[in-house]
Amino acid sequence: MKTGKRYFEAQAPAPRTRRRFFARAAKLNSLAAILGLAAFLLGVACISASLAEEVIAVLSSASGAYAESLAGFEKEWGRSVQAVNMTSERVPLSRSNNIIIAFGAKAAMRQYPDRSTLIYWAPGLGVDQLDREGPAIKIWLGARPDILVARLKEIQPQLKNLGIFYVSAYYTRYIENMRRAARPFGITIHADKLDGTDNLPDRLRAMETKLEAVLMLNDPLFVNVQTFMILKNYSWANGVPLYAPTAGLVEQGATASIGPTFTELGRAAAQTARKALTGDPAGEEIYPEVNEISVNLTAASKTGVVFSEGFLKKVRRVFP
């Protein structure tokens, strides 16, 4: 009988057998690693799919503004989401849709389950105007009042009297916030709420205080081709800068605009949705963090505005 060291040497496999044994073990370990990685990737895919199903985007139409916002949302979100166009498709909702992203008034005013959080942008449409019991968060189309006032003062250092004409009562609180922000800059806000747009020329003529600038808000009840042309003609004829809510109106002859792009509105909606999913309260109104500045050099010349070099460095779009 073999004992001690000789016994264990006799029980050990031959060198060739040992090599086969370790090779087989290595293959099994490699296979286990591959299967483990596959399981991990499958889990990640399932989680991503689950998160994607939680969000659905509803667009009022196929307009470029809504598509631009959707693109901004998906870029910030990090992946595509289910999106439907109300003009051509029904809106299929499931119980997994915890977040509804609505771009435009038509999409925002649709009936959605109260268990879902509605995040939307729509000019002139406040959260309290929605027929809704569930949570809703509005993304503002304009710049935060204090930022807007600071930029206007940067453009016009001597600005003291700023006129605002509007129709929708929804903007009353925004204007009050502007008034508070304007006081430290020595700016007085002369706000005139109109019953309609037809009497705008008469209101301009009846202004007792000589305005040094006019600001158009993104008021859907006020902004149209006619009111813009009236204010543009008044601006150019009297040397009074006209500040518009969008770069498109600057291109048409307004002096400048300060506000978020539609892409930025989408990004802000994605950031708000992420907070909502994690239970982080965001409030009922959100102002996008990034604002785009656009200027029209011809309109500036007509209205006596000279943009400083420091300000022009902040400008993204310059129209001749």
- Counts for the chain of helices (H) and strands (E), in that order: 12, 13
CATH architecture of 145-260+289-319: 3-Layer(aba) Sandwich (3.40)
pLDDT in tens, 71-95: 999 999 999 999 999 887 677 777 6
Question: For residue 224, is pLDDT > 70?
Answer: yes
Tell me whether the CATH fold assigned to 54-142+264-286 matches the one assigned to 145-260+289-319. yes
Query: Which one, of 220, 180, 187, 227, lies nearest residue 203 by Cα?
Result: 227
**How many Cβ atoms from other residues are within 10 Å of residue 51's Cβ?**
18
The amino acid present at 39, given as its one-letter code, is: A
Q: Which residue has the higher pLDDT, 170 or 4?
A: 170
Beta strands (DSSP E) in 133-195 are 136-139, 161-166, 188-193
Encode pLDDT of 66-75 as tens digits.
Answer: 999 999 999 9
Domain residues of the chain, as ranges?
54-142+264-286, 145-260+289-319
pLDDT for 185-218, tens place per residue? 999 999 999 999 999 999 999 988 999 999 999 9
The torsion region of residue 315 among left (phi > 0), alpha (psi -120 to 50) and beta comes to: beta
DSSP string, 221-254: TT-SHHHHHHHHHHHHHHT--EEESSHHHHHTT-
C-alpha dihedral sign at 208, 209, 214, 220: negative
Homologous superfamily (CATH) of 54-142+264-286 is Response regulator (3.40.50.2300)
